[in-house]
Amino acid sequence: MPHPLPLGGELASIRQAAELDLTALAWSLAASAQAFYELHGLYDEGVSTHQVALAACRRTGDGLGEAVLLRNLADLWTSRSGADLQDKLDAAEAALALFRRFGKRRGEADALWMCGDVHRVRGLHGPASRLLAEALTVAVGDGHELGECHALTGMAIVSWEQGRPEVTRELAERCAALAGRLGYPRDMSVALTLLGFADPARQESMLRTALTVARDAGDPVQELYTLARLGMHYVTVDRARARGLLDTALARSRADGLLFGEALASWGLGELELADGQPRAAVDHLDRAIRLLGDRRFTYLRARALTALGSAHVRLDPPAAIAAWTGARALFDQIDNRPAVAEVDALLAAPA
């Protein structure tokens, strides 16, 4: 998406419009650049412009502008370094109430999807599934195809995290078809990644294509995440290639302040050191990944990293291995991933 103004000029224009009570102009300027901010990881800049316009909307009583800005802020807070999930949920729920008041079904679908995403990240997969299903129903009913794509993606991630790859494949295929027709490369890249997860025989080709799509679109954030995912895939088939990709993903994530990318790369390097017979190095990487993921976020990913951490500890510190696997089991149980619970139970039954 082309960016309408240089960043400094845009903020100045929004402030001027807000000061003159040209509220519709202020919020439309901020909203028009939201995709650019998100695409390029410019979260602080995006939040600043949106908050200036949001204050104007609240001062002048522009409820629709407030709803749009709150929805966009919820989206910007998804990956912003240090952002609190509660901020995203508060913004999304406030946007949902306003969109419903104004009868804006497309905005309602977007806000429902964002609320569902927060619950999914927190490991509350029951509420997440209900909200995402409602988002899909609203989006389809209003012909909001991008909203339909987002809801399908969210549902596909939930099904994958619950150990249901067949459902993941079906939902991701529907999303990929929509994203291809609509011309939304990030959604296509995410859908291809999910298809790779759900089909091990095609995982490498799907991830490589997802990476190409992100690169061709000039989407550095999605490119980094996919690079780390591809590196993790190569851990079991080509460890030299895995190390190169994961080292690159780690360095670039740190340079760009992408904590989630750094967590993915650290987790992958932990798996790689474990495969190379270096459990102490594996523990260091996995511990860092778990710290970066946080205590109440990314429940499925933390459970997977804890499972690997237990395997790294098993010959170094058996009690620590038991603790890691027990923690992983509790998290898998929380999100109702029965196959993963059984996998960890087998590790706990024979840790030596």
* pLDDT tens for each residue of 247-264: 999 999 999 888 899 999
- Establish whether domains 1-103 and 106-218 are of one fold: yes
Q: Phi first, then psi: what are they for 242, rounded to 5°?
A: -60, -45
8 Å CB contact between 233 and 217: no
Residue 159 in tokens? 């099904």
- CATH H-level superfamily of 106-218: Tetratricopeptide repeat domain (1.25.40.10)
8 Å CB contact between 120 and 128: yes
8 Å CB contact between 50 and 76: yes
Helix axes 23-32, 7-19, angle to 10 degrees: 160
Look at domain 1-103 and name its CATH class. Answer: mainly alpha
Angle subtended at Cα 194 by Cα 193 and Cα 200, rounded to the nearest 5 degrees = 90
Task: Report the C-alpha gap between 318 and 117 in whole angstroms.
Answer: 36
Q: Looking at residue 78, what is its pLDDT?
A: 59
Listed by start position, the domains of the chain span 1-103, 106-218
- Per-residue pLDDT 10s for the chain (352 aa) are 444 444 445 667 877 877 777 788 878 888 887 777 777 767 777 788 888 888 888 998 989 999 999 998 888 765 555 567 888 899 999 999 999 999 999 999 999 999 999 999 999 999 999 999 999 999 999 999 999 999 999 999 999 999 999 999 999 999 999 999 999 999 999 999 999 999 999 999 999 999 999 999 999 999 999 999 999 999 999 999 999 999 999 999 999 888 899 999 999 999 999 999 999 999 999 999 999 998 888 999 999 999 999 999 998 999 999 999 999 999 999 999 999 999 999 999 985 5
8 Å CB contact between 37 and 11: no
Task: Report the C-alpha gap between 53 and 59 in whole angstroms.
Answer: 10
Q: Within a 10 A sphere around the Cβ of 184, how many other Cβ atoms?
A: 19
In three-state secondary structure terms, 5 is: coil
State which amino acid sits at residue 106: R
Helices and strands per DSSP (H, E), number in the chain: 19, 0
In three-state secondary structure terms, 64 is: helix
Task: Report the C-alpha gap between 269 and 30 in whole angstroms.
Answer: 39
